[in-house]
Amino acid sequence: MARRILVLNGPNLDLLGTREPHIYGTATLADVEALCAERAAAHGLEVSCRQSNHEGELVEALHEAGADTECVGVVLNAGAYTHTSVALHDAITATGVRVVEVHISNPHAREPFRHTSYLSSVAEMVVAGAGVRGYGYAVDQLATG
């Protein structure tokens, strides 16, 4: 088995490319996954990509990543769950999996409810406001950090 990074996307990220392109751009989730695969390959790693609109599925994916000795970490864009999910916070803490939190937009330049992240305190790094390029930065961090 090759060493790998899990790219985990939360609610509504399956709508990238059509959802509020003035905020999130026109890149699709498939574009994000291709970018991550390319960046990981440059480090000799593979990626596994998952997206779910369901909090419990994201928690289970974090559990699996934490138990997978070949997984070097998780690139996590939890979408709206960033601002609400104690369960995701606890899954990261419980498993000890390395996580880089990614936001396509800059949450601090948006509505006040988006200014608080339940995940940042347990993430190794936070990338925000870099568009989908932020996923590449996250992959680089997990591969080299």
Among left, alpha and beta (phi > 0; psi -120 to 50; other), residue 79 is: left
Catalytic residue among 24, 81, 118, 135: 24
Cβ atoms of residues 102 and 77 within 8 Å: yes
Structure token digits, residue 53:
């609109």
Cα–Cα distance between 60 and 100 in angstroms, integer?
17
Would you call 24 a catalytic residue per the annotation? yes
Return all residues near 15 (Cβ < 8 A) that are at least 6 apart.
none
Would you call 103 a catalytic residue per the annotation? yes
Catalytic residue among 81, 83, 89, 103: 103
Using the 8-state DSSP alphabet, how is residue 12 labeled? Answer: T
Catalytic site positions: 24, 103
